[in-house]
Amino acid sequence: MSLPDLTVGTVLPDLEVVLDRTTIVAGAIASQDFEDVHHDPGKARSRGAPDIFMSINTTNGFVDRYVTDWTGPEGRITAVSLRLGLPNFPGDTLVLRGEVTERTEREATLKVTGTNSRGVHVTARVTLESVNA
């Protein structure tokens, strides 16, 4: 996929990510995030959540992956802006969808939405370019 192919309105193929407890813990620990809400169900409940939930950095990592799975290795993400909605708990399936919303000669901007069975988990705006632009 080269940048010239990215026209406004182009829709990316969906990505479904099945999240279990281990996925959530692995993401938190790989990013050195030891907040108990990302690994300890008892502590998560005492802090008002029904179970452990995925960290914002892990969501960011999955959004990165989703976009560069599609662009291929030449894609370079230059900016991301994401807002979290409903949390991802163990057993959830995160479905990522994306669409090109803006295009300049050098850059493309995508809107990426991630949903689980309860609703919207994340809304993201991702700007990218090609390293060979």
Partner 1 sequence: MHAQQLDLDAFGGVEAEPPRVARYAVNEAMIRNWVEAVDDRNPVYVDADAARATGREGIICPPAMISTWVMNGYRRWREVQALREAGQREDFAYSRLMSLLDEAGFTSVVATDVSQRYLRELRPGDRITCFFTIDSVSPLKQTALGPGHFVTLSKRYVDGDGVPVAEEDFRLLRFRPANKDG
In the complex, the smallest distance separating the C-beta of residue 8 from partner 1, rounded to whole angstroms, is 22
Q: Which regions of 9-67 does DSSP assign to beta strands (E)? A: 11-18
In the complex, the smallest distance separating the C-beta of residue 10 from partner 1, rounded to whole angstroms, is 20
Compare residues 9 and 51 and give the one whose CB is closer to partner 1: 51
Compare residues 65 and 106 and give the one whose CB is closer to partner 1: 65
In the complex, the smallest distance separating the C-beta of residue 7 from partner 1, rounded to whole angstroms, is 22
Distances (CA, A) of 130 to 15, 45, 55, 76, 105: 22, 44, 28, 6, 11
Compare residues 69 and 103 and give the one whose CB is closer to partner 1: 69
Compare residues 87 and 98 and give the one whose CB is closer to partner 1: 87
62's tokens: 């999955």
Q: What are phi and psi of 10, to 5 degrees?
A: -60, 130
130 Cβ neighbours under 8 A, 6+ residues apart: 2, 3, 71, 74, 75, 76
Q: What are the residues binding partner 1 (CB under 8 A)?
A: 17, 23, 26-27, 29-35, 37, 46-48, 55-58, 60-65, 68-69, 73-74, 76-84, 87, 131-132
